[in-house]
Amino acid sequence: MSVIVSRLALDHFRSWDHCIIDLSEGVTVIRGANGMGKTNLVEAIEVLSTGSSHRTSSSLPLVQRGYDSATVRANIVDTNATDGEAAGLQPRNIAESANTESAPESSESNSEEQNGKLNSNQDSLQNSPSDHDDAAQPDHNTQDRAPYTTIELTIRAHGANRARIDGGASMYMRDILGRIPSVSFTPEDQRLVSGDPATRRGFINQAGTLLIPGYDEVHQTCAKIAKQRAALLKQLGKSSVQDGRYDNRYGQSAPSDADAGQAAAMQPALSGLEIWTGQFIESGVELTRMRKRLIDQLAPLFSQNYDALSGSEQHASLAYLPSFDEVLEDGEPHQLISRRFQRIYPGEVARGQNLIGPHRDDMAMTLDGVPAKEFASNGEMWTMALALKMALAALVERATGNAPMVILDDVFAQLDETRRRQILEFAVRRDQVLITAAAAADVPDLSPYGTHARIVDIAALRRQSDDEQAGQLLTDETVARIKAARQQADAQGEASA
């Protein structure tokens, strides 16, 4: 079973004012000069799939300059769905994880829900034929032969992102994540080995979002608590550090009588810190356990993939390095972590930072027990990065039953012939593949694999999109009906709350 993106529409996303592109099963190559927006198109799918982008850690760069928000919409089709089934609405079936919450029901009528979809009767985009004479294929529009669902994400430059399904009630972004499983291979993948821990945490978070129901909510909750706790540490640092004394509950001497007034003023902040620390430990332990389970599943696949790709006798391994390493020990970790916080309290106040926590997690990749970041060659790092992404794709398919879309973003210009062949052999076995390429020489020849690519000319797509108006996506009457239905649904939601 697989979920196919049959149509993608962008409004004010990155460099795109408006864009609609029809997609199909098989391999699609988006070709054109750099700076035309190829990567922005596949990045939009990545964000819709995982809630984040490998290119940025915030939403602000995703919104076109001069606008408050961007919108990404995609029609998704379950190729094995029977008539009447909705595509992409099945919960992820992950071992050892809870079921997802059901999607909120829309208050709109059936006709209004249909208007929330991207119009299926719109003209398809004209795409240039393949450079290979025998590569031309008819454009099989998947959404014309199977039921489809429209997933919509509104990305705000500032504030919370919101989502909708078929134009229904507004919901949290986390409620749609994982419905479009995808794995992206990018030129930056080598940094998964050679880069800083934040790069590897970004991979862990995207993988967790795809594989573990509730992961994104736990991650966001932990991040918010960490931010509140850091703010209190900075507040305490401005007062208690000046005096050189700390509260005795953290193992330091109590203030003298002369400092009683200052100590009393600090009590609310200290009490708040205790509360936030307890919550930080609780959410951090939960997140750490999720990450450990994830990497425990990825590790054997990673090692197998590296062995197959490299053909060498060196053994590659993957291990989780949690900041809350007490979770790896037997017994209850909460008290152990609490005692460690007490020991490091002076340093945290002095720096105004959380010195331990999931925001400092990392994962280690080694070759024969030696850190790959320090000793692996450039080629070995690329092979390890490919092995890791392939492991994620295999795990997503195994755990969810849905083959993920494979995105190859300008990778062929970075790889040697051997790795180009390896990644193609992996990709062509998937149901939907998107490839971006700047030059014709970077477009792979798929004929040895018994398939051909559909070519999309990014310059032609850009010209067409520049000529279109925002209102052409839906008729004015339909837009008015959707807005009225959304306002009614939101009002009902607020009233019930």
Residue 292 has pLDDT above 60, yes or no: yes
Residue 318 has pLDDT above 60, yes or no: yes
* Average pLDDT value for residue range 176-199: 94
Between residues 118 and 122, the one the model is more confident about: 118
Q: How far apart are the first and last CA of the chain?
A: 38
pLDDT in tens, 235-291: 898 876 455 554 544 545 555 554 555 556 567 778 889 999 999 999 999 999 999
Between residues 497 and 221, the one the model is more confident about: 221
| Banded pLDDT at 433 (limits 50, 70, 90) | very high
φ/ψ of residue 472, rounded to 5: -75, -15
pLDDT in tens, 344-363: 999 999 999 999 999 999 99
Contacts of 266 (CB under 8 A, 6+ apart): 236, 239, 240, 247
Residue 224 has pLDDT above 60, yes or no: yes
* Average pLDDT value for residue range 199-204: 96
| Banded pLDDT at 455 (limits 50, 70, 90) | very high
Q: Please provide the DSSP assignment of 182-226 as one string.
A: EEEE-GGGGHHHHS-HHHHHHHHHHHHHHHSTTHHHHHHHHHHHH
pLDDT in tens, 76-86: 998 876 444 44
| Banded pLDDT at 484 (limits 50, 70, 90) | confident
- The pTM of the full predicted model, rounded to 2 decimals, is 0.80
* Average pLDDT value for residue range 401-423: 90
Contacts of 273 (CB under 8 A, 6+ apart): 229, 232, 233, 236
Share of the chain above pLDDT 70, in %: 77
pLDDT at 270: 82
CA distances from 11 to 78, 200, 307 (A): 25, 30, 43
CA distances from 237 to 159, 228, 244, 263, 279 (A): 29, 14, 10, 13, 21
Range with the lowest mean pLDDT among 181-195, 214-228, 229-243, 395-409? 229-243
Mean pLDDT of the chain: 83
| Half-sphere exposure for 265 (CA within 13 Å, toward CB) | 9
In whole angstroms, what is the distance from residue 58 CA to residue 53 CA?
A: 8
